[in-house]
A = this chain, B = another copy of it.
Amino acid sequence: MQVIRTVEAMRAWSLQSKRSGRRVGFVPTMGCLHEGHLSLVQLARRTADLVVVSIFVNPTQFLPGEDFEKYPRDPERDEALCRGAGVDVLFYPETGAMYAGDHSVFVDEQRLSSGLCGASRPGHFRGVLTVVAKLFNCVQPDVAVFGQKDVQQARLISRMVRDLDFPVEMVVGPIVREPDGLAMSSRNQYLAPAERQDALCLRRALDRVEDLFAGGEREVERLLAAMMEVFRAIPSARVDYAEIVDDVTLEPLQKLDRRCLVVLAVWVGKTRLLDNTLLTP
């Protein structure tokens, strides 16, 4: 495995790969890798000849007061995991290499980004799209793999790929869960033991909705009420949002007459957790 630390070296590698006609798969991450990330690497391997993983904790997607400083970093472990997963290139740029002091160009989305995490974290997706555009231009992948856990992010990046004509195929990998059902996330590390237990309320709320839906319930109000009941039982849990939205537009649905997403963002103590599930009528 090659570790590349500069934009120039990454670009030179990409140009050579293009010339050799080999298909490059790309998994952008913020490091602190877990099995969720590694499942995306496996997906990339399945469709590409070479796999690049980037690790970059991107400052522009954190809001002031968020956890940029304390976001978990473990470069040695990450490198070992990538080696073990058969990654060909680990792209590991420094912050200074990615953002000039007078950086002033951003990529912004104006519809899908207005609700959900976009409403709670204004500016977050502008940072995400900007850094993904930069990474796409550095790596020039043929296919890029993102996780369904951050579903709004995945939808927004697909929209960016379409609207800015990036020559990149998008693949979204399913959520990987701990044995007890908690969706894997680097931020799970923040949870104290009691909170770790409380955090199962997200999966429980989704289970509840899935059960009701399987039993024929189609009233959005009743499904949302059933989820809120689950959260009310957990004092450490504070719902940021719990919605049922169109799978494509991410707009709240009145009627469950098409594929939709149940999307959750819930604070457990000081940790904000995401989860979601797809309902297909």
Chain A residues proximal to chain B, CB less than 8 Å: 7, 11, 14-15, 18-19, 21, 100, 102-112, 129-130, 133-134, 137-138, 140, 159-160, 162-167
* Complex CA distance for A162 and B160, rounded to whole angstroms: 19
Residue ID in chain B nearest A107 by CB atoms: B107
Residue ID in chain B nearest A140 by CB atoms: B167
Tell me whether A105 and B108 are in contact in the complex, defined as CB-CB below 8 angstroms, given that A7-B165, A164-B137, A167-B137 are known contacts.
yes
* Complex CA distance for A65 and B133, rounded to whole angstroms: 32
Inside 8 A of A163's CB, which chain B residues have their CB? 100, 103-105, 134
Q: Which 6 A-B pairs have CB atoms at the shortest separation, nearest pair first?
A: A105-B163, A137-B165, A104-B111, A134-B165, A18-B18, A105-B160
* Complex CA distance for A130 and B105, rounded to whole angstroms: 11
Min CB–CB distance A19 → chain B (angstroms): 6
* Complex CA distance for A218 and B55, rounded to whole angstroms: 50
Residue ID in chain B nearest A105 by CB atoms: B163
Tell me whether A106 and B110 are in contact in the complex, defined as CB-CB below 8 angstroms, given that A18-B18, A18-B19, A137-B166 are known contacts.
yes
Asked if B159 and A105 sit within 8 Å, CB to CB, the answer is yes
Inside 8 A of A19's CB, which chain B residues have their CB? 18-19, 21
Contact with A164, one of B108, B109, B134, B162 (Cβ below 8 angstroms): B134
Contact with A11, one of B15, B133, B167 (Cβ below 8 angstroms): B167
Contact with A105, one of B102, B105, B164, B167 (Cβ below 8 angstroms): B164
A–B Cβ pairs within 8 angstroms, 16 of them: A14-B167, A18-B19, A19-B19, A19-B21, A100-B162, A104-B109, A104-B112, A104-B159, A105-B109, A105-B129, A106-B110, A108-B108, A137-B164, A137-B166, A137-B167, A140-B167
Asked if B106 and A107 sit within 8 Å, CB to CB, the answer is yes
Inside 8 A of A137's CB, which chain B residues have their CB? 164-167
* Complex CA distance for A223 and B146, rounded to whole angstroms: 56
